[in-house]
Structure 1
């Protein structure tokens, strides 16, 4: 159905709703990989995406010609991803030496530092204004920012990220990472390098976030400090948790719910006179309710519904379970 959506959906739906869903889903997928399989809740994933977005603007073309280097795409894109992965690896090297709330705090501190540094630096990041006019290259004669082309571009990378995480979760590295999550001392006693596995997980998650950051920059044709501000950093955590951290499809479910609320609930709140600033309150209330009834997010709620239906099917007419 997703492959055929451009045939019957409007440009707004396939570009803004679905394109944005796939992009946020990719970035949240990087958090899901770290938290779900590695037991490491990182709040720096949106910042890593921001690094990739800034690098594609600095190394490639933008309207800020005094800073952008204008290098060809086959140099700019790999370089942006390499720098994003290096940044994510460096953060991971620091964060894996902490646990629990301390991991959350150190990654949040790094995300905050990047936001303020980007906003105050005009030589490299162009300060508060950032970069605009950042467009994807026209490869094979295709305008990749056209709604249909961009939809398939984001769908491709969302599918690739989903399959990569699904494969890694069943590969020896993923199984070892889950073992490290459950019992790091036992895995170390068995000869596994716990720190190396955790840092490698951060590197792979940074690659996913970097891809999402480039796509996000191309979609909006701009990158600024606000793209990787504290609000978006927390939003990625909310998206991942609402969707569910147990399966790679969860971040995309959470992203779809978030995009729908962000797109339509904001206008509805303004229409009834509650003001657009109440949107974050709405997101927060929804987050609390979902986590209260199901710590595993929407996927957990769905699993509960399936289990309840299964119990009803095995009951005999007297109402007693067989």
Structure 2
């Protein structure tokens, strides 16, 4: 009787081998972009894309994993921007306190997160259209309060000269440093959302989204999970709000105006509200339209202000053809190719 050779253990692929090649190509493009892109693309286009993507990512977390469509995220971001101007340095020296950066940054994030948590504690007691209306009403109230309050928020003018601190001797508002700063923050926020969505809390939150009664019967505190989701999303929105204030070098009531609040919803829905990468895709589409469509319209003799019409038509078209946004269109196209169907019509050859 021959002795059987021991079965060789299957070789498990390394973690980096599990990542699709397309993701590695995207990382390479983003890391090397300062080598071939100009300052306008780095600072205005990509920097703005990452910032709006982070704020929309906070909405995606609430809506995609928690089933709660919140219109307060831009207000939370603006609150963080205001706190940076108030507790840090700005052109309004009589209001700004001038605290060091390692103190005013955590304070700004904490106050913005507390603001989002309090709003969430009210909003989670409602569902559907009522949640949207409550958060929209609070966002409108925040806008009018900041515009009319001159003691703390300096009213209509807001704060100017709100710039990042010169850490390590680097001007972080210069195009290339600011690009890498926003890219790093966006990547961290994206990875954290992916990790949390697969954690016990994230899985429980998705269970609450799908069947809150069954989760309550299993012993989960449905309200606490939803409020905690608002807190987590508010931290992400606060980071985006701080970067937005630094990019514009100012913070004013218009930052949290109703049009800006609706824009975040449009960005999240257009990109895809079911996956963390969707808000960044939607933000890129929005920024490209917002930046270049006025020039295109002027070339055809139309008013540049009509760029919002293009954004609205694009939003309606994507929602009509794909409720899952651009990612949904991509998934359907790829599935049709895999089944050998025509990618456009879906018909068999």
Q: Shorter-chain TM-score category?
A: over 0.9
Residue number among 56, 59, 67 corresponding to 2:84 in the alignment:
56
Distance 2:128 2:82 in 1: 30
- Map of 1:312 onto structure 2: 340
- Map of 1:168 onto structure 2: 196
- Map of 1:207 onto structure 2: 235
Cα deviation, residue 273, structure 1: 2.5
Structure 1 window deviating more from structure 2 (63-72 vs 37-46): it is 63-72
The gaps in structure 1 that reach 5 residues or longer are none
Q: Which has the higher contact order (CA 8 A, sep 6+)?
A: 1
Distance 2:215 2:292 in 1: 47
1:104 aligns with 2:143: no
Distance 2:333 2:310 in 1: 24
Distance 1:286 1:50 in 2: 27
- Map of 1:15 onto structure 2: 43
Cα deviation, residue 271, structure 1: 3.0
1:177-214 Cα offsets, whole Å, 9 max, x none, are 00000000000000000000000000000000000000
- Map of 2:98 onto structure 1: 70
- Map of 2:256 onto structure 1: 228
- Map of 2:161 onto structure 1: 133
Give matches, 1:1-322, under 5 Å: 1-312=29-340
Distance 1:209 1:269 in 2: 32
Cα deviation, residue 269, structure 1: 1.6
Distance 1:102 1:195 in 2: 16
How many residue pairs get matched?
A: 317
Q: TM-score, normalised by structure 1?
A: 0.97
Cα deviation, residue 320, structure 1: 6.6
Structure 1 window deviating more from structure 2 (276-285 vs 16-25): it is 276-285
1:283-306 Cα offsets, whole Å, 9 max, x none, are 111000000000000000000110
Distance 1:14 1:118 in 2: 31
Query: Does the CA-based 8 Å contact 2:341-2:348 persist in structure 1?
Result: no
Give every structure 1 segment of 4 or more consecutive aligned residues whose post-TM-superposition deviation is greater than 6 Å: none
1:226-258 Cα offsets, whole Å, 9 max, x none, are 011000000000000000011100000000000
Distance 2:108 2:182 in 1: 18
Distance 2:223 2:57 in 1: 21
Distance 1:73 1:153 in 2: 16
RMSD between aligned residues? 1.2
